[in-house]
Amino acid sequence: MQAAALLMLVPVASQAESCLAPVRPFVPSDSQDARDYADIIRRDFEVYIADIQDYFRCLEQERARAFEEAREVSQDYGRFLELVGD
C-alpha cells in the first residue's frame, strides 16, 4: 500500500508542446527595395500566413491539454485532501 502511495507522488513528465510564433515578414521602407524584392517578400507573407495558422492550432491544442491537466490535478488534490482528512 505504501509503494502505491509513493508512486502517486512521483511527478509524471509533462506532454506540453512548445508553440513557437512565426517571425513577422520584413517589409523594406524603401519602395524601390520593396519592388526589387517583391517576389521574396510576397513568399515571406505566404509562409507567415501558413505558419501562423499552424501556430494558432498549436495554441488551441496546448490550451485543451492544459485544461485537461488542470482538471486532473484538481481531482488529484481532492483525493489528497480526503487522504489527509481535510
Q: Are 21 and 12 in contact (CB under 8 A)?
A: no
Query: C-alpha distances in angstroms, 44 versus 16, 25, 33?
Result: 29, 6, 15
Give me the mean pLDDT over the 64-74 stretch: 98
**Tens-place pLDDT, residues 33-62:** 999 999 999 999 999 999 999 999 999 999
Give me the mean pLDDT over the 2-26 stretch: 67
- C-alpha–C-alpha distance, residues 64 and 69, integer Å: 9
Residue 86 has pLDDT above 90, yes or no: no
Residue 8 has pLDDT above 60, yes or no: no
Q: How many whole angstroms from its chain centre is CA 52?
A: 13
Q: Which three cell numbers stand for residue 62?
A: 496546448
pTM, rounded to two decimals: 0.69
